[in-house]
Amino acid sequence: MDFLPIFLAMRDRRVLVVGDGQMADAKCRGALKTSARVTVFADNPSEQAFAWERSGDITLCAGLPEPTDFRDVTVVYAAHQSDQINDQIAAMAREKGAIVNVLDRTDACDFITPAIVDRDPVVVAIGTEGSAPVLARQIKADIEAMLPAGLGRFARLANGFRTRVRALPEGFARRNFWRDAFKAEGLVANASDEVIRQGFEALLERHIQSEPEPGSVAFVGAGPGDPELLTLKARRLIHEAEVVIYDRLVGKGALELARREAKFIDVGKKGFGVHATQDVINEHLVREAQAGFKVVRLKGGDPSVFGRLDEELAALSEYGIESSVVPGITSASAGAASLKQSLTRRDRNSSITFMTAHDAKGYAEHDWRQLVRSGQALAIYMGRKSASFLQGRLLMAGGDQDLVVTCVENISRPEERRFTSTLSRFAQRLDDDRWNGPLIIFVGIGDDQGVGISTAPVVKGASNGSH
């Protein structure tokens, strides 16, 4: 982001618009939505500009402003046809401490004007930093359709009701009241002021009567990274969360769905070697829930897959704290989707094992012979650093050295990459090419699509026992 989105206080301030024509009028129209006083310098004022002058909305002047005209001016729009004049205006304005928008030249602007959806006092500003104005207009149209016309009035009535809500204790009790009030959509759209006020009163009464809601923890699967792979329930809970406790593998997109005033606690764990110990994480969970907060414990992928979910659930139940689990898309599923492969396939593998190559104690041992003999496919989590160990164990147990192995890194993220290799070669390839991101090793599942280097037939003998 190169521009800071802010709303500027304009009461008792002045705005200066220099230039005529449609664009100057558009800047004026925006400024006139605020309580600022607007002065326009124009050689050929438009009909609209004259009309605004007649109705006393703007002061209209001929020619160009002098340095003294910038007194008390906060915002200047340099919308003249001449770049040279715009540069002069900008220089004068800055000298007097004003901020300047230069028409059609983002690089020369101190600020840019967003597209807005106006439900005063509710205002949505949409900006693309000048890169895609058409997109901004499209988003504006979508939001226009989403927000009922009466929303501004509703917000103003809500503001008037704030003193009444002080009857509730400060903090989440009040926030919960407003959360419920704003959810009462029926009220927003059509109701009269009186009906809305009565609705607020009735709701407040209910909130005063009710016991304070106890804190709780939702374990929410954040999926492999792409925020579009979040469930609707995950989105809602993240949005409602008062505290968000998250791992290193949780994508930025999921975190951005949380409210900015939520408390964020990063307990990012790294593969071997631990960032926050499990005990510390448990302490955070218990402390925040006991303080009465709605906590979302975000975990990459699905919380039930190699997520140490049980330890955290046990810690909560020890204190009688309410919890729930919201599944997410585990990396192996997302990886298979990206390969356009099934995790199971008739005549190839009738079962698949989700396994890890290391556990809390180090390399994880398995019944390797049984794994090889069963002819199933494997989806190996946390396998990068133990790739040589895995490879050795599977080969020693009789695994076919030409068996297809596909490694997929950063699944569903923009930097996703993968390669297809064989059981006898994949570990070396992982060493060679600096594969540093989270990665799934699929044994017995290939990449039919021909992406990556296919050094083996897609599946070799996986179903006849040689795998």
Q: Which of 96, 233, 269, 385 is catalytic?
A: 269
CB of 285 vs ligand SAH, minimal distance in Å: 17
Shorter beta-carbon distance to ligand SAH: residue 162 or 340: 340
Nearer to ligand SAH, 27 or 418 (CB): 418
* Residue 415: CB minimum distance to ligand SAH, A: 10
235: amino acid identity, one letter = R
**247 catalytically annotated:** yes
Q: Which of 20, 226, 247, 400 is catalytic?
A: 247
| Nearer residue to ligand SAH within complex by CB, 172 or 435 | 435
Residues that bind ligand SAH (CB under 6 A): 224-225, 249, 299-302, 305-307, 330-331, 381-382, 409-413, 438-440
Secondary structure tally for the chain: helices H, strands E: 17, 19
For residues 467 and 455, what is the distance between their CA atoms, to the nearest angstrom? Answer: 17
367 counts as catalytic: no
* CB under 8 A, 24+ apart: contacts of 145-150: 147/117, 147/119, 147/122, 148/185, 148/188, 148/189, 149/119, 149/189, 150/188, 150/189, 150/190, 150/191
Which residue, judged by CB position, is nearest to ligand SAH in the bound state?
A: 301
* CA 77 – CA 32 distance, rounded (Å): 13
How many alpha carbons fall within 13 Å on the CB side of residue 182?
14
**Using the 8-state DSSP alphabet, how is residue 34 labeled?**
S
Q: How near is the Cβ of 121 to ligand SAH at its closest, in Å?
A: 41
Helix axes 278-290, 309-318, angle to 10 degrees: 40
127/300 with CB nearer ligand SAH: 300
d(CA 20, CA 194): 45
CB of 403 to ligand SAH, least distance (A): 20
Which distant-in-sequence residues (6+ apart) come within 8 Å of 454 by Cβ?
Answer: 420, 446, 447
Q: State which residue, 400 or 409, has the beta carbon closest to ligand SAH.
A: 409
Quote the CA–CA distance of 193 and 71 in Å, as a whole number.
42
Catalytic residues: 247, 269
